[in-house]
């Protein structure tokens, strides 16, 4: 079993690209940065040499990785877990309100049809959450 201990990043070594495009990170001379020969991204060494951070990105948050000696792992994944629980609480609250308003609406349509429609909308919300958190 491999150790999960994070290793300090050597500024004179080559590493595999964390973007999973089979590229190699090579040191950029006179800087504390690496460049990928495949995806052309630049990665800067942060946090005392244990983390690399993607310099130019289209994402609203910065992507960072730690080196375990064999592979890269995401460095700031706990932030996403906090947002996931908040998002789930909001979705369950919306589903609860949707079911209450569905059951209290006028009786012009059958209750089973309204409950099925409410459940379909809640499944649609959960699917949208899954698509948003997938990346």
Residue range 16-74, pLDDT digits in tens: 998 876 889 999 988 889 999 888 888 999 878 888 988 866 666 678 888 888 888 88
Mean pLDDT of 125-135: 72
Token pair 């994402």: residue: 59
Q: How far apart are the first and last CA of the chain?
A: 28
Q: What is the pLDDT of residues 73-88, one digit of tens each?
A: 887 655 455 666 777 7
**What whole-number distance in Å separates Cα of residue 30 and Cα of residue 20?**
26
Return the structure tokens found at 118.
Answer: 């409410």
For the chain, the domains span: 15-75, 78-133
């Amino acid at each position: 079993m491999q150790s999960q201990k994070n290793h300090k990043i050597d500024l004179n070594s080559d590493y595999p690209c964390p973007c999973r495009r089979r590229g190699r990170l090579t040191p950029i001379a006179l800087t504390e940065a690496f460049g990928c020969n495949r995806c052309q991204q630049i990665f800067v060494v942060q946090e005392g040499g244990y983390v690399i951070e993607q310099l130019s990105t289209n994402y609203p948050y910065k992507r960072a990785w730690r080196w375990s000696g064999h592979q890269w792992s995401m460095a700031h994944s706990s932030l996403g877990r906090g947002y996931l629980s908040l998002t789930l609480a909001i979705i369950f609250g919306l589903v609860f309100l949707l079911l209450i308003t569905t059951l209290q609406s006028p009786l012009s349509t059958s209750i089973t049809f309204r409950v099925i429609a409410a459940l379909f909308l809640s499944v649609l919300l959960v699917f949208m959450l899954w698509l948003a958190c997938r990346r």
